[in-house]
């Protein structure tokens, strides 16, 4: 097992650090920047289904559901296709409106999650075209779907999902960009710009990982918190949800993710000097709005940890701590802002002496209802 961990103390840490390579493996052979082409057989062979779809419904559980939420923003923003994102466990029992004009995308790291598998069966019964985004090759979901794209993240052992999440977002970004192009919804220059920026993501993730030591210090400051709040807007709202989930899963600290502007409709009542608030406040993506949310937290004495773009000044002046990530396109920021939140949860759990790779009550793959 020590050998498998490749010198890292835990699988989770290894998998966090594998993300630059994992993302590169995900787009290898698919993202042809010079040619301006995205090549994905599962999409190419079924392009009419996607182009003519009334809507895309994404079904998933856990972290994969969060990747689906990020995809909703990118599909709607770039490809202008309406998207619904559903918990597979809800979808399967609620008589959803699905027809043969629908595309259903099932996202699953393991490809074995029972609820997601049942959701796929229901979608197929209703005539939908079902596309899988799985990591495990030959898994049940990969076999049950009409077509699909693997994430190629390599084995993920840590129960808390990390590289599966960022590689799922990578695959879904490729699909969204491809459809945006096919449907004529994106200008050539913007399309090219997206391809170039996507290709740069692995090195930017590697740069974000360099904050590890600093993040450890931040983790040490907040490890004894009883409750934490995670806030983000737009593309980074799902990242806030994922950040909170990571903390809950492995440190057993209660955490909630919220859209930053919704804070005033409830969570703001919880804020006092005992409440760390992790705010994703990158330059691209409602920056001024998020800064005013940060001011609201500050005036209530909440502790602010900002995830900011390199060189940020405003948030630095307001926050107790900031963690920088490189700049990229707004639609790709989740791939970077997720990284410090994974590391924060990891370090907090280690400092609290928790079982990072196998947290209590959780399973890597949930094959029963
Ligand atoms: C379990 C795992 C999570 C995972 C979820 C969905 O709860 O602990 O890490 O996100 O299942 O799993 P899947 O394999 O379908 O992505």
**Cα of 113 from ligand 1 centre, angstroms:** 7
Helix (H, G, I), strand (E, B) or coil at 70: helix
- The CB of 135 under 6 Å from ligand 1? The reply is no
Q: Which residues contact 252 (CB under 8 A, 6 or more apart)?
A: 352, 354, 359, 360
Q: Where are any strands of DSSP class E within 93-169? A: 103-108, 129-134, 147-150
Q: What span, in angstroms and rounded, lies between the C-alpha atoms of 269 and 128? A: 44
Most informative mutation of 12, 61, 357, 368 for ligand 1 (most atoms within 8 A of CB): 61
CA distances from 359 to 74, 112, 178, 227, 251 (A): 32, 20, 38, 18, 8
Q: What span, in angstroms and rounded, lies between the C-alpha atoms of 17 and 70? A: 21
Q: Is 41 exposed, middle or buried (0-12, 13-18, 19+ CB in 10 A)?
A: exposed
Q: What span, in angstroms and rounded, lies between the C-alpha atoms of 296 and 88? A: 36
Residues labelled as active-site residues? 364
Nearest CA owner, ligand 1 atom 4: 62
Most informative mutation of 142, 241, 366 for ligand 1 (most atoms within 8 A of CB): 366
ipTM: 0.98
Pairing of strands 37-38, 56-60: unpaired
Query: What is the atom index within ligand 1 of the atom nearest the CA of 136?
Result: 14
Residues of the chain with pLDDT under 50: none
């Amino acid at each position: 097992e020590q050998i498998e961990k490749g010198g890292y103390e835990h699988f989770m840490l290894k998998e966090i650090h594998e993300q630059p390579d994992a993302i590169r493996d995900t787009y290898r052979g698919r993202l042809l920047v010079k040619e301006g082409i995205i090549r994905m057989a599962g999409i190419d062979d079924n392009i009419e289904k996607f182009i003519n779809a009334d809507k895309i419904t994404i079904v998933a559980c856990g972290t994969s559901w969060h990747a689906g939420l990020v995809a909703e923003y990118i599909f709607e923003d770039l490809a202008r296709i309406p998207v619904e994102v559903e918990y597979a466990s809800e979808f399967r029992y609620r008589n959803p409106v699905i027809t043969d004009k629908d595309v259903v995308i099932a996202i699953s790291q393991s490809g074995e999650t029972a609820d997601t598998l049942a959701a796929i069966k229901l979608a197929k019964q209703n005539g939908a075209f079902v596309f899988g985004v799985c990591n495990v090759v030959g898994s049940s979901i990969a076999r049950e779907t009409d077509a699909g794209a693997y994430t190629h993240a390599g084995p993920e052992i840590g129960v808390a999902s990390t590289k599966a999440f960022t590689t799922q977002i990578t695959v879904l970004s490729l699909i969204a960009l491809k459809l945006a192009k096919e449907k004529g919804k994106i200008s050539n220059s913007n399309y090219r710009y997206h391809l170039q920026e996507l290709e740069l993501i692995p090195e930017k993730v590697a740069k974000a990982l360099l904050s590890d030591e600093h993040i450890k210090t931040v983790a040490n400051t907040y490890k004894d918190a009883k409750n934490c709040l995670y806030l983000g807007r737009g593309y980074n709202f799902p990242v806030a949800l994922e950040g909170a989930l990571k903390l809950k899963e492995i440190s057993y600290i209660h955490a909630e993710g919220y859209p930053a502007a919704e804070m005033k409709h409830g969570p703001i009542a919880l804020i006092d000097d005992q409440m760390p608030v992790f705010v994703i406040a990158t330059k691209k993506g409602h920056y001024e709005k998020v800064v005013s949310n940060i001011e609201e937290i500050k005036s209530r004495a909440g502790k602010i940890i900002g995830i900011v773009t390199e060189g940020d000044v405003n948030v630095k002046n307001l926050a107790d701590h900031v963690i920088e990530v490189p700049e990229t396109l707004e639609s790709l920021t989740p791939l970077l802002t997720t990284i410090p939140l994974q590391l924060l949860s990891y370090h907090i759990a280690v400092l609290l002496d928790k079982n990072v790779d196998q947290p209590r009550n959780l399973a890597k793959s949930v094959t029963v209802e």
